[in-house]
Amino acid sequence: MASKAPPRIFSSARRLAARRRALTLQKQHDAPQYLHEDMVEDVLERLSFLRFEPARALVIGDWTGALAEALNAQGVAVTQVEPAEGFDEEAPYPFEGFDLIASLGTLDTVNDLPGALVHIRKALAPGGMMIASFLSAGSLPTLRDVMLAADGERPAARVHPMVDVRAGGQLLQRTLFADPVIDQRSLQVGFRSLERLVGDIRAQGIGGVLADAPPPLGKEALARAREAFAAAGDDGRTVERFEILTLSGWKK
């Protein structure tokens, strides 16, 4: 029996455009990088805790270059790839034999997440480790509420569905990673305006890339969104929450 194609939730073209826009915005001197900084720090902490010293590593999606720089300083030979530059996470990798594969902030918007994890596992050497971090369920609750208020009686899908901890564990089991570890951590950030939140989202490549793009907000809807955002805050600052899910496992 032929295998069923995964559902088309995300638009590959919109995903590519969003990441390319983020790469451009990251060239600004004050570009927000707190999500990537958190992910990079987490990878390095895990490696240190496990006393795992890979010889070869593949880093996917880290436009800051910070993880590759830190690994290079430890004597690791690092290959860096970026989906915005043509690397396809949903196809077999053109190379293999890595002791470590770290994926940062990309897997939440692939249509075939199980397939993407299988490709990672196949590209690992025996005894190799995967660490994959991305935004997960529970992220952007304020923005979700604000968009509902803006849309009124006809809400549109403006924030894409995300993987939760339970689903993450099931994915690692399904894709045959050994000794899987699944955890989630929160990052809370305050914003003075809705525009600043949206700007940070775009600059970090985490905006909506659904296959069925929602209609743009009209003038009145945007006014309702700004009002709802301000009402959700205190003393001129509204806090938004980002939930980072990290999946890790080994190839035996």
**Does 219 reside within a domain?**
no
- The predicted model gives 229-252 an average pLDDT of 97
Does residue 118 come out as left (phi exceeding 0), alpha (psi in the -120 to 50 range) or beta? Answer: alpha
For the segment 78-105, the average pLDDT, to the nearest whole number, is 97
First to last CA, the chain: 29
Q: Is the pLDDT of residue 72 over 60?
A: yes
Whether residue 101 is contained in a domain is answered as: yes
pLDDT band at 153 (very low <50, low <70, confident <90, very high): confident
Is residue 103 within a helix (H) or strand (E), and if so which, with residue range?
strand 98-104
Q: What pLDDT shows up at residue 6?
A: 80
Residue 236 included in any domain: no
The model's pLDDT over 173-186, given as tens digits with 9 standing for 90+, comes to 999 999 999 999 99
Looking at the domain assignment, is residue 134 inside a domain? yes
pTM confidence score? 0.94
Sheet holding 98-104, edge to edge: 77-81, 56-60, 98-104, 124-135, 238-250, 178-191
Alpha-carbon distance 252 to 241, whole Å? 36
- For residue 7, the model assigns a pLDDT of 85
pLDDT tens digits along 39-68 = 999 999 999 999 999 999 999 999 999 999
Taking residues 88-92, what's their average pLDDT? 97
Position 147 in a domain: no
Chain-centre distance of CA 94, in angstroms?
A: 22
Residue 40 lies inside a defined structural domain of this protein: yes
What pLDDT, on a 0 to 100 scale, did the predictor assign at position 3? 58
Residue 5 pLDDT: 76
Q: State the average pLDDT over residues 146-165.
A: 93
With cut-offs at 50, 70 and 90, classify the pLDDT of residue 1: very low
pLDDT at 46: 98
Rounded CA-CA distance 206/245 in Å is 14
Q: Total structural domains in the chain?
A: 1
Average pLDDT rounded to a whole number, residues 217-233 = 96
Mean pLDDT of 119-129: 98
Question: Is a pLDDT exceeding 60 seen at residue 210?
Answer: yes
Q: Give me the CATH number covering residue 23.
A: 3.40.50.150
Structural domain containing residue 58: 12-139+160-190+243-250
